[in-house]
Amino acid sequence: MTNKQPYTYIIDENKNRWAIKNEAYWKQKANEKYFILLKRSGIPEFYWNIDWKDYKGNKSKENFDKALYFAQNFHKEKFNHTHLYLWSEMNNSQKTSISCNIGKEAIQQGYKVKFILGGTLIDYLMKNNGFNYNKEIHDKIQQLKEQDILIIDDAFSADKGTLWKNSPNNNLIISAWDQFLREVVSSNTKIIMTSNLQIDKIKELYSPSLFELVDRNFVVLLFEDSIKDHKKKKFDNLWKE
């Protein structure tokens, strides 16, 4: 059990009393604070114990290294107003776990992080732009804009209900995305988006101006490795003694 005292004390040969920092105590306190902030960030608990070393992939290694480097250096001046767009047409490409690892790295460095699903964000924005003002939703949106890193998972996914062909809501959704992203990219908040949509498709499914906004401000990283086979092997081992 960790000593609960933040300092231990010794008395030297001259009977002077000296305080010595209890490293185990402060390490435990830092760990407790990290998990409080991790929970507050909204990063799904599933990703809490998935680390960089757990990445399974070869073809995407260069982009993985770029994501890791960004996580360790995003606060530096050279990355001002730099955002990441992690995408793959495949499921199980590990892009969400990578985005969460960037967030966890930032939390450990003392920065503010929020995780939100793209569909949830659009739902908030649409309700906020409606006729019935909702202070709770308004405050949630403002909070998203005040983070050091904002993770938007599964953004621009037409098959997830965030866009409907020939729907009168299309223009409202496009306008909501455009306004929100313009406000955030011009601030100090850095956005990490994951998507199964190739960036060029934003022009076709959403709007040319929204595509230009993303294309101009985001570094696009493609992840082509699936973790599905690794999961299957793990499940197979469950039946072995």
Residue 150: pLDDT band (50, 70, 90) is: very high
Using the predicted structure, report yes or no on whether residue 2 has a pLDDT greater than 60. no
Using the predicted structure, report yes or no on whether residue 163 has a pLDDT greater than 60. no
The C-alpha atoms of residue 85 and residue 120 are separated, in whole angstroms, by 18
Give the contacts of 153 (CB within 8 A, at least 6 positions apart): 96, 99, 115, 116, 117, 118, 193, 194
pLDDT at 164: 47
pLDDT digits (tens, 9 = 90+) for 185-221: 999 999 999 999 999 999 988 899 999 999 999 999 9
pLDDT digits (tens, 9 = 90+) for 90-149: 888 999 999 999 999 999 999 999 999 998 999 899 888 776 678 899 999 999 999 999
CATH number of 42-237: 3.40.50.300
Between 196 and 27, whose confidence is greater? 196
pLDDT digits (tens, 9 = 90+) for 36-91: 999 999 999 999 999 999 998 888 999 999 999 999 999 999 999 999 999 999 88
pLDDT at 233: 67
pLDDT at 194: 97
Tokens 């960790």 label which residue? 2
Enter the pTM of the model. Answer: 0.85
Q: Which helix (H) or strand (E) holds 20?
A: strand 17-21
The C-alpha atoms of residue 183 and residue 205 are separated, in whole angstroms, by 22
Between 167 and 185, whose confidence is greater? 185
Residue 235: pLDDT band (50, 70, 90) is: low
Using the predicted structure, report yes or no on whether residue 239 has a pLDDT greater than 50. yes
Question: What is the pLDDT of the chain when averaged over all its residues?
Answer: 87
pLDDT at 5: 79
Average pLDDT over residues 22-36: 80
Using the predicted structure, report yes or no on whether residue 158 has a pLDDT greater than 80. no
Using the predicted structure, report yes or no on whether residue 234 has a pLDDT greater than 70. no
Using the predicted structure, report yes or no on whether residue 168 has a pLDDT greater than 70. no
User: How many CA atoms lie within 13 Å of 157's alpha carbon, on the beta-carbon side?
Assistant: 22
pLDDT at 162: 47
Q: Which residues of 115-147 are buried (b: 16+ CB within 10 A; e: fewer)?
A: bbbbeebbebbebbeeeeeeeebeebbeebeeb
Using the predicted structure, report yes or no on whether residue 151 has a pLDDT greater than 70. yes
